[in-house]
Amino acid sequence: MVTRTQKFKAFVSEPMGDKDVTAVDGINDELGLKLATKGFDKAYILLGQFLLLKKDHAVFQRWLKGSYGASPSQAQQCASCLMDWCYAFL
Amino acid sequence: MPEFLADPSVLTKEKLKSELIANNVSLPGGEQRKDVYVQLYLQHLTARNAPAALAQPDFSSDEEREPTPLGARSRGGAAPGRKATKKTDKPRLEEKDDLDVTELSNEDLQEQLVKYGVTPGPILATTRKIYEKKLQKLKEQGPELGSSTPLPTVSSSAENTKQNGNNDSDQYSDNEEDPKVEFRLEKREPLKAKTKTPVTLKQRRVVEHNQVETTAQLPVDDAVMSEGTPIAETIVASSNETLQVVNRVPGNFKHAAPTLSISEFSDLPRRTPKKPLMTAEVVEKTPAEERRVERDILKEMFPYEVSTPTGISASCRRPIKGAAGRPIELSDFRMEESFSSKYVSKYVPSADDKPEKRITKKRSIPMWIKILLFVVVSVFLFVVYQSMETNQGNPFSKYLGVSDTDIPTD
């Protein structure tokens, strides 16, 4: 079982509201900047993409890695973070 | 071509010309403006598609476009706008037409949109088409608005990024500063039906933004629009046109305002907290007369309404005196005070003063009596209970025949 980071817990514990995309677990500043320049400057936009991909972990990770150069661990963290958020709030 | 587009303005001028030629439509000599070709296209080709839509190509195309999804409305709005206001910019149009939005890459598309002060979300396969249409519309409107087109991209982008993030804070912090601005947008907004898709929101943002460009620049309101209630694109576009053409004429608004008043009023307070900077500077010159007009109308229409953020002041329905067998008593007047001011002020304010005064006096007396009675009754019951014999057995034993016990008769 993966131990959840503080960032993960913080994100999943409440509605994301207008949080920046860097608030999502797995998204560091660099990746966040890349996402923001492409228009994903808010967490909810990234969530939108996640939902568009039908909450498919693998596809989402592939997308994140392919389009934005995220590392596999980053993508995995991000996907699971969003997934958990969806469980909690969606 | 088996089918002809209902929305020829998506095509470039060259394409329109080629389409017309391909369908044996005679072109006017020399280089014409795009909308000339558009109209020809509409007249000849779209007519073949839908014979009914002939008379006024622009208006009919509006009708046709209505059902079509997404940005089609923008076309309908754009066409009359273009017609009305495009007097110049022939060369400019030609230049822009050369840039086919569909050929732009995602990044370029984004750049172009940013140039117009719009912060698009991610341009993906799903969103691309929407942004293309928006850009196209912007381009068509951009030359018209002309002068202030060179948007200070830095500031606008900064503000735009703020749009996405801090709309709420901007809205709430700035909304009080520019009440005048509220009216301008409120006018237009209530016109719009509330059932809009997010796509049209973006269109609207563009439209709004373009209007803003005319005077000062406050793209923030775009996000507000998008964040706020959805808005009807057609109405926006048409009002956009009106504003552009007859920017200072209060007559338009006077005409529009009364029809809006009811819906507008309900929207007005709702919009109030959401209005950010709105189009502060923009509206300075324009809204003066319009504001006054609107305010007057609103005051006339709803002099007693409470202005609340939601436009709704919920209050208990006042029981109709004498209805449903209710006796008409002075106690009914008592209820008024507990209601919101809305009712109090609404129903014959002067007449209620006297009964209220009497009520206040009378009210104090019965209240005490009530409490006193309550205490007395409760004490009495307590005493009675104390004096009762303790009942060991089952009170229903009489019926069950289990055992005889004393049953208190008092």
**In B, which residues are within 8 Å of A52 by CB distance?**
126
Q: What is the model's pLDDT at position B335?
A: 54
The answer to whether B147 contacts chain A (CB < 8 Å) is no
Mean per-residue pLDDT for B238-246? 51
Please tell me which of the candidates B122, B167, B168 has its beta carbon nearest to residue A38: B122
- Measured between alpha carbons, how far is residue B144 from residues B38, B83, B149, B259 in Å? 17, 11, 9, 29
For tokens 């926006």, name the residue. B236
B277 to chain A nearest CA, in Å?
20
- Cα distance between residue B114 and residue B127, in whole Å: 15
Lowest mean pLDDT among A35-39, B235-239, B314-318: B235-239
Helical (H) or strand (E) element with A70: none
A39 to chain B nearest CA, in Å?
4
- Measured between alpha carbons, how far is residue B136 from residues A71, B129, B132 in Å? 37, 11, 6
- The residue in chain A having the minimum alpha-carbon distance to the alpha carbon of residue B120 is A39
Please tell me which of the candidates A18, A20, A39 has its beta carbon nearest to residue B121: A39
**In A, which residues are within 8 Å of B161 by CB distance?**
41
Q: What is the model's pLDDT at position B297?
A: 76
pLDDT (tens digit per residue) in B80-93: 444 555 555 555 44
Q: Where are the alpha helices (DSSP H) in B86-197?
A: 90-98, 106-115, 125-145, 153-174, 179-191
Mean per-residue pLDDT for B228-237? 49
pLDDT band at residue B146 under the 50/70/90 scheme = low
Report the predicted TM-score, pTM, of the whole model to 2 decimal places. 0.32
Nearest CA among B226, B239, B96 for reference residue B160: B226
Nearest CA among B199, B217, B203, B91 for reference residue B160: B217
pLDDT surpassing 50 at residue B57: no
Q: Give the tokens for residue A26.
A: 């797995």
Nearest CA among B265, B213, B206, B269 for reference residue B244: B213
pLDDT surpassing 90 at residue B406: no
pLDDT (tens digit per residue) in A39-68: 888 899 999 989 999 888 999 998 888 888
User: What is the number of other CB atoms lying within 10 angstroms of the CB of residue B99?
Assistant: 15
Higher-pLDDT residue of B181 and A49 is A49
Mean per-residue pLDDT for B53-60? 46
The answer to whether B387 contacts chain A (CB < 8 Å) is no
The answer to whether A40 contacts chain B (CB < 8 Å) is yes
Contacts of B144 (CB under 8 A, 6+ apart): B81, B82, B85, B86, B89, B244
Give chain B's mean pLDDT: 62
Q: What is the model's pLDDT at position B110?
A: 84
Quote the DSSP letter at residue B22. Answer: H
Nearest CA among B88, B69, B93 for reference residue B9: B93
**In B, which residues are within 8 Å of A45 by CB distance?**
121-122
For tokens 């389409």, name the residue. B19
pLDDT (tens digit per residue) in B63-80: 444 444 444 444 444 444
Q: Give the tokens for residue A69.
A: 């150069």
Q: What is the model's pLDDT at position B267?
A: 53
The answer to whether A50 contacts chain B (CB < 8 Å) is no
B283 to chain A nearest CA, in Å?
29
The answer to whether B165 contacts chain A (CB < 8 Å) is yes
Global ipTM = 0.71
Q: Give the tokens for residue B349.
A: 């304010």
Q: What is the model's pLDDT at position B107?
A: 83
pLDDT surpassing 60 at residue A5: yes
Sign of CA dihedral B222, B226, B228, B230: positive
Quote the DSSP letter at residue B318. Answer: P
pLDDT (tens digit per residue) in A76-87: 999 999 999 999
Percent of chain B scoring above 70 in pLDDT? 29
- Cα distance between residue B71 and residue B140, in whole Å: 14
Q: What is the model's pLDDT at position B154?
A: 47
Q: What is the model's pLDDT at position B80?
A: 47
pLDDT band at residue B348 under the 50/70/90 scheme = low
Residue from A38, A42, A46, A60 to probe the interface with B (highest B Cβ count within 10 Å): A38
pLDDT (tens digit per residue) in B244-303: 554 555 445 445 444 544 555 555 555 555 555 555 555 555 666 666 666 677 767 776
